[in-house]
Amino acid sequence: MAKMPGSEISAKTISNSKLKQYAESYARDGYLSPIDMISPARAARHRAHLENAESKVGALHYKTKVHTILRSPYELTILPRVLDVVEALIGPDILLFNATYIIKEAGSKSHVSWHQDLTYWGLDSDAQVTMWLALSPATQTSGCMRMIPGSHLQGQCEHTPTDDGDNVLFQGQTVHDIAEERAVMCPLRPGQASFHHGWTLHASMPNESNDRRIGLNVQYLAPTVRQTKHDLDSAILVRGEDHYHHFADDRPADTDLDPAALERQSNLERLYIETAGTS
The reported pLDDT for the residue numbered 1 is: 31
Q: C-alpha 113: how far from its chain's center?
A: 16
The reported pLDDT for the residue numbered 169 is: 65
Q: How far apart are CA 148 and CA 33, in angstroms?
A: 13
* Residue pair 31/129 in contact by the 8 Å Cβ criterion: no
Q: Rounded to 5 degrees, what are φ and ψ at 124?
A: -90, 5
Binned average pLDDT, 10 residues per bin, the chain of 279 residues: 43 89 98 97 98 98 96 98 98 98 91 83 95 97 94 78 65 70 94 96 92 97 97 97 98 97 97 81
Domains and CATH numbers, the chain: 16-276 (2.60.120.620)
Q: In a 3-state reduction of DSSP, which class is residue 148?
A: coil
SS3 of 42-98: the string is: HHHHHHHHHHHHHHHHCCCECCCCHHHCCHHHHHHHCCHHHHHHHHHHHCCCEEEEE
* Residue pair 63/33 in contact by the 8 Å Cβ criterion: no
Q: How far apart are CA 264 and CA 255, in angstroms?
A: 14
DSSP state of 120: T
Cis, bond preceding 223 (omega within 30 deg of 0): no
Q: Please list, in sequence order, all residues whose beta carbon lies within 8 angstroms of the beta carbon of residue 188, skipping any fewer than 6 positions away.
A: 33, 34, 132, 134, 137, 138, 144, 194, 215
